[in-house]
């Protein structure tokens, strides 16, 4: 009797587990449930939810277009879109950097954008064939710890970091997309020989990190004197620990130095859904551009002034380069790899 009871209990326990699992799964708690009647778009976002979710909500509020969004790394999403083949789920790809968009352009999966959208930004911040458009700018900066280096001793050019005096003092993230775009810019502007030489010097001098954020933490902790990062990491970190607790400062190189490269986050449209184009255009409108300036501390590409603690976009003496020229990364990666900085 007792055994029978036990077995019965066991079976019902298993059944309950199965039923809960299945019901819970079918009704997996989703963030948004768009009504099928309303207009809606699916966005693959390489930009992170914490930063972007409020912006997307504002879009739905203003336009009535519902959004389904999938967050992951820009590169992973690009790979995913390419593997989806003819069954692409996304209407829009919102990328953290121009490189991932360039990869999709190369594969021919992005639709050409109308000139009423692309004309909103300077030609250097969009694809040459108008398949993607930049929506916000991010600058490369030299993050440094003032306790370890005087402002007067800061290098004038990113090439000065090749000096043996910098051995073990400078942090870089060679597997990071923004570093790679910067090296591509160097290659395009200064030639392969100069770039190879600089990378070889970095192999000697630099401390290697996986992410920009880790470089900044190491600068803050005084483990390294300085590091090459994007400007908004300083802002993210300050938001997390409080501005008054920040030790590091940002600096720019001399006018036109390739170390001052300004890159963009941008969008490309993948489907014929008209709402997707509406979204792309909306990102260049006032609400979104203000949001990028105020909330993520990036640069507006349509002329809204940057935050007070940042130099204005046209004041950064960034090198003169067409961002879509940065897309063919393969040669750059080969150089970085041959220098022994990445796998």
Partner 1 sequence: MAVVAVFASVAPLVYLGVRLAEFGIDKVLTQTLRSRSFELLGNSVLLTLAVAVAAITIGSFQAWLTVRTSIRGRSFFAILAALPLAMPSYVSAYAFAALVPGFKGFWAAWLVLTIGTAPYVYLAVSAALVRSDAATEEVARSLGLGRWRVFKNVTWPAIRPAAISGAMLSALYTLSDFGAVSILSFDTFTRAIYNAYRSSFDRSAAASLAAILVVITVILLVAEPWLRGKIVPTDSRVRKTSLIHLGWFAPIAGTVAVVWAAVGILLPTISLIRWNLIGLSKADAGELGRALVNSISYALAGGLVAAIFGIAISVLVVRFRSKTTLMIDRTIWLTHAVPGIVVALSLVFISNRLLPQLYQTSALVIIAYLILFLPNAVAAMQTPISQAPRALDEVAASLGATRLQTLRRVVIPIAGPGILAGAALVALSVLKELPATLMLRETGVETLATRLWNATSVSSFAAAAPYALILVLVAGIPAWLLNRQVRQSMFSQVDLDRRLERE
Q: Please report, as ranges, the residues that interact with partner 1 according to CB under 8 A.
A: 7, 10, 17-18, 20-22, 24-26, 28-32, 42, 48-51, 68-73, 75-76, 78-80, 82-87, 89, 99-100, 103, 175-177, 180, 208-210, 213-214, 221, 223, 233, 236-237, 239-242, 329-330, 333, 337, 340, 342-343
DSSP letter (8 states) at residue 94: E
Question: How far apart are alpha carbons 173 and 336 in whole angstroms?
Answer: 11
Q: Determine the Cα angle at 24 with ends 22 and 30, to 5°.
A: 130
Task: Give whichever of 167 and 337 is closer to partner 1, judged by the CB atom.
Answer: 337
Beta carbon nearer to partner 1, 177 or 269? 177
**What residues form DSSP beta bridges with 171?**
207, 227
| Nearest-approach distance from CB 177 to partner 1, in angstroms | 6
Rank residues 220 and 257 by Cβ distance to partner 1 and give the closer one: 220
Tell me whether strands 170-172 and 226-230 are parallel, antiparallel or unpaired: parallel
CA distance 202 to 210: 15
- Three-state DSSP class for 239? helix
User: How do 249-251 and 66-71 pair as beta strands?
Assistant: unpaired
User: From the CB of 152, what's the least distance to partner 1, in Å?
Assistant: 28
- Name the residue nearer to partner 1 (CB basis): 100 or 113: 100
Cβ 56 to partner 1 shortest distance, Å: 12
> What distance in Å separates the CA atoms of residue 266 and residue 134, rounded to the nearest whole number?
4
Q: Minimum Å distance from CB 115 to partner 1?
A: 27
Least distance CB 303 / partner 1 (angstroms): 26
Containing 199, the helix (H) or strand (E) segment is: helix 192-205
Measured in degrees and rounded to the nearest 5, phi and psi for residue 141 equal: -135, 165
Closest separation in Å from C-beta 124 to partner 1: 22
At 255 the three-state DSSP class reads coil
Q: CB of residue 119 vs partner 1: minimum separation in angstroms?
A: 28
Nearer CB in complex with partner 1: 20/287: 20
CA angle 286, 48, 181 (to 5 degrees): 85
Q: Between 37 and 86, whose beta carbon lies closer to partner 1?
A: 86
Tell which residue, 190, 192, 191, 223, has the closest CA to residue 206: 223
Residue with Cβ nearer partner 1 (84 or 119): 84
CB 300 within 8 A of CB 306: yes
Rounded to the nearest whole angstrom, what is the least distance from the CB of residue 229 to partner 1 in the complex? 12
Q: Which is nearer to partner 1, 72 or 189 (CB)?
A: 72
d(CA 330, CA 162): 24
- Least distance (Å) between residue 233 CB and partner 1: 8
Given its phi and psi angles, is residue 222 left (phi above 0), alpha (psi -120 to 50 degrees) or beta? left
Task: State the DSSP code for 126.
Answer: B
Residue placing its CB nearer to partner 1 in the complex, 121 or 212: 212
């Amino acid at each position: 009797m007792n055994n029978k009871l036990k077995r019965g209990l066991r079976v019902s326990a298993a059944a309950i587990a199965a039923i809960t699992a299945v019901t819970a799964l079918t009704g997996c708690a989703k963030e948004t449930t768009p009504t099928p009647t309303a207009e809606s778009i699916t966005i693959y976002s390489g930009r992170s939810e914490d930063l972007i979710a409020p912006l997307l909500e504002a879009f739905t509020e203003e336009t009535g277009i519902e959004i389904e969004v999938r967050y992951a790394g820009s590169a992973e999403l690009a790979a995913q879109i390419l593997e989806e083949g003819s069954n692409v789920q996304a209407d829009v790809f919102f990328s953290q950097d121009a490189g991932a968009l360039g990869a999709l352009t190369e594969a021919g999966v992005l639709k050409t954008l109308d000139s009423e959208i692309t004309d909103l930004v300077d030609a250097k911040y969009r694809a040459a064939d108008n398949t993607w458009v930049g929506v916000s700018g991010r600058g490369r900066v030299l993050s440094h710890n003032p306790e370890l280096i005087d402002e007067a001793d800061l290098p004038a050019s990113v090439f000065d970091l090749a000096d043996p005096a910098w051995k073990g003092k400078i942090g870089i993230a060679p597997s990071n997309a923004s570093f790679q775009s910067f090296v591509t810019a160097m290659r395009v502007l200064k030639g392969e020989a100069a770039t190879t030489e600089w990378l070889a010097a970095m192999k000697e001098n630099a401390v290697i990190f996986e992410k920009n954020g880790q470089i900044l933490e190491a600068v803050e902790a005084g483990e390294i004197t300085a590091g090459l990062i994007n400007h908004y990491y300083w802002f993210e970190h300050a938001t997390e620990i409080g501005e008054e607790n920040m030790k590091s400062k940002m600096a720019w190189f001399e006018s036109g130095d390739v170390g001052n490269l300004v890159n963009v986050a941008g969008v490309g449209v993948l489907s014929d859904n008209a709402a997707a184009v509406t979204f792309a255009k909306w990102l260049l409108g006032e609400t979104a551009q203000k949001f990028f300036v105020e909330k993520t501390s990036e640069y507006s590409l349509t002329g809204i002034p940057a935050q007070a603690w940042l130099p204005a976009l046209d004041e950064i003496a960034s090198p003169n380069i067409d961002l879509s020229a940065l897309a063919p990364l393969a040669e750059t990666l080969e150089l970085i790899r041959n220098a022994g900085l990445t796998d």
